[in-house]
């Protein structure tokens, strides 16, 4: 059996997230259908993680197994791109070791969240517009608290099937990029709804409704009810996933 990683990007607007589910369009479903059309057999995909409804990915990774070696992965990617809808694009397909795993072998994942302070008809579908001034210096001070913590239950969707809510965040900061404010966060893993919950709570800091110490107490409370409202999903992008080099063939 031969295992392959698919690197892809997608606009999540028309999908109920990555994970396949009954009676709802998902990115996984669309990609599995394209693979079945091209390979003429059903193929099961395992993704590096889940993205929520409306969330985008500049880079998602999934693996699949195939009996025969794929002689030309570049040509395969090109043919799959012709089958897939316009809002999903495969970057490349890479052979990996038989036990390589798109989810469990990931060393780090990076998300970006985009805020705008002005009305713009051309970016409204992938940015979150905020009204009034935000104190981004205070928000970045609160971001430093994230490095101190490992249990992020307060930022997790309730009733998930994970065994632990522990994550290790290695980078979290707001930075100006042109007319936008961008929150970039990197961790070894993320919980469901985690980034959107963090952003929503940081917005409370930026509005002066929550101090840095208050932000710390939200995390220490270990309850979703203690955190702020989740920020809208349409402004969130899965930006990168890092793997160890030795899993690639």
In DSSP terms, 90 is beta-bridged to: 8
**Alpha carbon distance 196, 182 (integer Å):** 13
Longest Cα–Cα distance of the chain, Å, equals 59
Residues 6+ apart with CB under 8 A from 69: 2, 95
Q: Alpha-carbon dihedral of residues 98, 103, 104, 109, nearest 10 degrees?
A: 130
Q: Report whether 244 contacts 104 (CB < 8 A).
A: no
Q: DSSP string spanning 48-70?
A: SS---TT-EEEEEEEEEEESS--
Q: Considering 52, 87, 213, 246, which one is annotated as catalytic?
A: 52
DSSP 3-state assignment of 131?
Answer: coil
Radius of gyration of the chain (CA): 19
Active-site annotation holds for 188? no
DSSP 3-state assignment of 172?
Answer: strand
DSSP 3-state assignment of 187?
Answer: strand
In this structure, the strands spanning 128-129 and 108-116 are parallel
Q: What are phi and psi of 10, to 5 degrees?
A: -155, 150
Query: Which amino acids are annotated catalytic?
Result: 52
């Amino acid at each position: 059996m031969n295992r392959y990683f698919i690197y892809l990007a997608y606009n999540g607007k028309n999908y109920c997230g990555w994970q396949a589910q009954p009676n709802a369009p998902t990115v996984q479903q669309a990609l599995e259908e394209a693979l079945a059309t091209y390979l003429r057999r059903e193929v099961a995909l395992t993704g590096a993680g889940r993205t929520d409804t409306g969330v985008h990915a500049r880079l998602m990774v999934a693996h699949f197994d195939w009996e025969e070696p794929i002689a030309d992965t570049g040509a395969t990617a090109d043919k799959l791109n012709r089958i897939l809808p316009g809002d999903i694009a495969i970057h490349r397909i890479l052979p990996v070791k038989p036990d390589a795993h798109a989810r469990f072998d990931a060393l780090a994942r990076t998300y970006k969240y985009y805020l705008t302070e002005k009305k713009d008809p051309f970016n409204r579908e992938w940015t979150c517009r905020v009204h009034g001034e935000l104190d981004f210096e205070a928000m970045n001070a609160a971001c430093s608290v994230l490095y101190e913590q490992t249990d992020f239950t307060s930022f997790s969707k309730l009733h998930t099937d994970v065994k632990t809510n522990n994550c290790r965040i290695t980078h979290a900061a707001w930075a100006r990029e042109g007319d936008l404010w961008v929150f970039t966060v990197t961790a070894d893993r993320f919980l469901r709804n985690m980034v959107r919950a963090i952003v929503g709570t940081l917005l409370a800091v930026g509005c002066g409704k929550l101090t840095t110490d208050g932000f710390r107490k939200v995390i220490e409370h270990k309850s979703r009810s203690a955190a702020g409202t989740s920020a809208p999903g349409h402004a969130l992008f899965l930006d990168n996933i890092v793997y160890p080099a030795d899993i690639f063939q």
